[in-house]
Structure 1
């Protein structure tokens, strides 16, 4: 194990020194799908709170849409994770994106009909698409060598940048299109999301071959020695204490980063609108924020692999704190200063998300990888739902600066979490019993 990745135990049989030639094709297909799906992800981020405020008539409830689609993402993460575990990444991710397209269409219909119950239901369904967008990063690391997992995850997240950045800047254009069709302007970005998620569904369903998770299982089965005579069959080998600790640590890093980022980001457009800025200005700030969430991913992945997971995770907490303080102290009439604060907010999230993804992937056994990763993302989605729901209430009663400072301080909790977790063992896992996958074939973790 390289010095940069020695913080997390990596199973000795997990192909530490080689990657299959198919990895390049896998990453290419995932990148293409993410380029499109990023626009779908950006719809809820950009206008979700504004649409909620308009339809519900209350700033205090403006965070409800964000809470709903992030709660929907929790359900989606469970479903997509289980489907990936049973059938592979290709059908799981394709179904998730298709569900996101249906949810986006439902949001448009709800806005056109001014139907709040339909809006709530559609936002839950739309959340499945946003969950799939983030779950795709795990597909990029299924067959990646452990020393390159940070970079593989970073490349998939980076691909989300184009759609996620362009989407918010098209608020006016998509709003005009929606208006000509007799639909409220704030529903325009969700029209874009329908097409974006649908196109991502087609690309993954048609071209993600070989399936990365199934390929990883095949390689593990081929590398496994014969099972000793008399060895009892069935069941996965329980993860050791170091693995459980690694999963918990990586999950905590991502949850804290998500909670702080969602809370501050959700209410920024509302904060700007309350101080006289139009939706185009808010869209520009959110576009820069979303760009900072994904654009640095290749560099972040390189740093995760070279400097270590824990160092980068700690840096995320510090960066998010600085972002919160800057957002709180920035004069609300200064769009450039708010943009800088939101860029730092996105960067801090990126540092936590890429490092946390690497920690979790290093720690989870292959036989339960997809389902465990899905459960991890449930926690992340629930954290986002909590942040989105609480953000409106905090702003309504305490103001945006209170929310921004509180979010930054919460993110800084990443540092003691890492300290309490301690450094996982540097030793490679010397041996594991062969664990059968669902097809009955054995492979080593």
Structure 2
């Protein structure tokens, strides 16, 4: 008796079709949201410096944005847990659009207090942009989760590269309609986030998380209640135990949190450092565009590596890459040198995010997945907020080179954290 002609199960066909549609919709939304995210990142610190007249507080916008993303990560995670990814992600992007409008209003009024509140709300778009990667993995086969996550992340590249390079044109447009020049990119951010929310609300059907739960509950489902510590684990699916789940969440969270802290700290103060050394907004936009491209463009390769090899081993590479970024950034202030440094910074962050996401998705069952992912992203947002706050203070007290070197050395903490997690998991 042969098994060559055994038909594919109906739920597998449904899962594959829905996964293809989900990735298409997420790609469109991420292109838009990438532009919204990048526009604000490029000029947020410069806008605060201009309004406050202080370099020491120039890191505050990034800190407020990432602090706002803490609340948004919890909210988007909980809404997604109960009502699905479509509602949760669309609501998060809509909040980002409202925050962008608030930044413009604060700049017009010259009110720093309004600016800080608006930047806090704007942070919802940042959190949602990150949480969208989880939606790409909900229906993915466990051995293709890294590539599914990378597809969503790489879609952010186009918007992330285009957004900063529109800083000067949107600034000119803003000035033409009596809006401060540095608030111009937030016009793009607001429109981009609003369109991303619309795309998800209308076309993200069926909802990937809700469908995954339905298919997982079927008696014939082969992935119910399993976790995969390694994509190439020859022993196949292993039961999800509490120890294994905690180990996976801890490892993935630490990798992503440290990478986020270091990346935000160095990225936030690079435009300020360039401005202080005579480089204009166009030069800062180019360097940030290269950085954002490096954050997302390598995702297909990273995803393949994560699926092909041990996830924790790939995660460990994030630390040395971030250290290299800090060393290069501290060694000079030319545009070319800073562009290389920020490219390495983006690559190190990418390695940490893709591997950490896959590790956590492997470890957590569908019943609690969205809620746990939201809580992990809270930790990531807190790490980013810490980096943003500390960055301005460190630069004001000791200079940008010390910030860059210190961040790189801190990133090496990823290596022992990964080794320890591997030991606890027995792999």
Shared fold per TM-score greater than 0.5: yes
- In structure 2, the CA distance between the partners of 1:239 and 1:56, relative to structure 1 (3 Å rule), is farther
Pairing 1:152-191 to 2, within 5 Å after superposition: 152-191=148-187
Match of 2:105?
Answer: 109
Match of 2:414?
Answer: 414
The alpha-carbon deviation at position 221 of structure 1 amounts to: 1.2
Pairing 1:233-312 to 2, within 5 Å after superposition: 240-312=242-314
1:53 aligns with 2:57: no
Gaps of 5+ in 2: 1-10, 222-238
* Aligned length in residues: 400
1:386 aligns with 2:382: no
Q: 2:23 aligns with which of 8, 22, 27?
A: 27
Pairing 1:356-435 to 2, within 5 Å after superposition: 356-423=356-423, 425=425
Q: Does structure 1 retain, via aligned residues, the 8 Å contact 2:40–2:189?
A: no
- In structure 2, the CA distance between the partners of 1:115 and 1:310, relative to structure 1 (3 Å rule), is same
- Displacement over 3 Å in runs of 4+: 15-19, 423-427
Higher helix share: 2
- What is the SS of the residue equivalent to 1:204? helix
Q: How big is each residue's C-alpha offset from its partner over 1:84-125, in whole Å with a ceiling of 9 and x where there is no partner?
A: 001000011011111110000000111111111111111111
- In structure 2, the CA distance between the partners of 1:114 and 1:158, relative to structure 1 (3 Å rule), is same
The alpha-carbon deviation at position 422 of structure 1 amounts to: 2.2
Q: 2:39 aligns with which of 43, 47, 63?
A: 43
Q: How big is each residue's C-alpha offset from its partner over 1:377-432, in whole Å with a ceiling of 9 and x where there is no partner?
A: 000001000000000000000100000001001111100101112246579xxxxx
Gaps of 5+ in 1: 1-14, 226-236, 428-445
Q: 1:220 aligns with which of 204, 216, 219?
A: 216
Mapped partners of 1:288, 1:173: distance in 2:
18
Bigger relative CO (Cα 8 Å, ≥ 6 apart):
1
Q: How big is each residue's C-alpha offset from its partner over 1:321-347, in whole Å with a ceiling of 9 and x where there is no partner?
A: 000011011x21x11111001000000
TM-score (norm 2): 0.91
Pairing 1:53-72 to 2, within 5 Å after superposition: 53-72=49-68
Match of 1:350?
Answer: 350
Q: Does structure 2 retain, via aligned residues, the 8 Å contact 1:239–1:364?
A: no
Mapped partners of 1:22, 1:216: distance in 2:
10
Match of 2:315?
Answer: 313
Mapped partners of 2:148, 2:325: distance in 1:
27
Please report the RMSD computed on the Cα atoms of aligned residues, expressed in angstroms: 1.8
- In structure 2, the CA distance between the partners of 1:299 and 1:238, relative to structure 1 (3 Å rule), is closer
Q: 2:191 aligns with which of 192, 195, 208?
A: 195
Q: How big is each residue's C-alpha offset from its partner over 1:221-254, in whole Å with a ceiling of 9 and x where there is no partner?
A: 11379xxxxxxxxxxx995101111101000000
Mapped partners of 1:123, 1:168: distance in 2:
18
- In structure 2, the CA distance between the partners of 1:17 and 1:413, relative to structure 1 (3 Å rule), is farther
Mapped partners of 1:54, 1:21: distance in 2:
50
